[in-house]
Copies of this chain bind each other. A is one copy, B any other.
């Protein structure tokens, strides 16, 4: 029978418990900052058993990234599939913003991987960016976005607005009155981009500073 065994010996259940606990800890403290003991305590799985299932600490770390980041990329809405429609700044930014907001653990995992030199954290990263670049090009062809900006550079700028904020929102909240208003930031970022990306029509010199 396919009955799930709750207690006692259950390899799959053990592995999942370890992965879930390790993902949280690695995302929070990074590789060097997390000990096998911590993972053992958080998961309730004895330390030797973790080694039995996952090998050394490095291998467990790799397994966690594969598991956590891949399921993250898998659920990412229209990765490359229906890439026919041109990029709309508001909907695109809102979509990415909301999605990353709900998956901050994976954002942190990717951040750790970058600093620890394990870049790219996931092979699909480049593919994801390329899909956005394609939509930008399409928008430029239809004169929805000014043409003098390189699509790759522009994709970097769009992502930076979202990701950098999510990584530093607390810092800027501290600088402000202490309040963090994510929605207001997003709206203003969109406002800046919509004007900054609009094609120059005839004159309207936009008053150089």
Q: What is the interface of chain A, defined by CB distance below 8 A to chain B?
A: 29-33, 88-90, 108, 111-112, 114-116, 118-121, 125-126, 129-130, 133, 144-145, 148-150, 152-157, 159-161, 163-165, 167-168, 170-172, 174-176, 184-185, 188-189, 191-201, 204, 206-209
Residues on the B chain within 8 Å of A121, using CB: 171, 174
* Given A32-B32, A184-B150: A206 in contact with B209 (beta carbons within 8 A): no
Closest 9 CB pairs of A and B: A196-B196, A160-B164, A32-B32, A32-B33, A204-B204, A192-B196, A160-B160, A152-B176, A198-B206
Cβ-defined contact, B209 with A171, below 8 A: no
Min C-beta distance of A193 to chain B, whole Å: 6
Cβ-defined contact, A129 with B175, below 8 A: yes
* Given A121-B174, A191-B149: A207 in contact with B201 (beta carbons within 8 A): yes
* Given A126-B175, A171-B125: A195 in contact with B184 (beta carbons within 8 A): no
Cβ-defined contact, A192 with B184, below 8 A: no
Most chain B Cβ neighbours within 10 Å, of A168, A172, A175, A207: A175
Q: Give the interface SS of chain A, mostly helix, strand, loop or mixed.
A: helix
Instruction: Determine the distance from Cα of A56 to Cα of B206 in the docked complex, in whole angstroms.
Output: 54
Residues on the B chain within 8 Å of A201, using CB: 207
Known contacts A30-B30, A126-B174; 10 further A-B pairs (Cβ under 8 A):
A32-B32, A120-B171, A121-B174, A125-B171, A129-B172, A152-B172, A153-B189, A160-B160, A163-B164, A199-B207
Cβ-defined contact, A115 with B188, below 8 A: no
Instruction: Determine the distance from Cα of A15 to Cα of B136 in the docked complex, in whole angstroms.
Output: 51
Instruction: Determine the distance from Cα of A196 to Cα of B188 in the docked complex, in whole angstroms.
Output: 11
Cβ-defined contact, A88 with B197, below 8 A: no
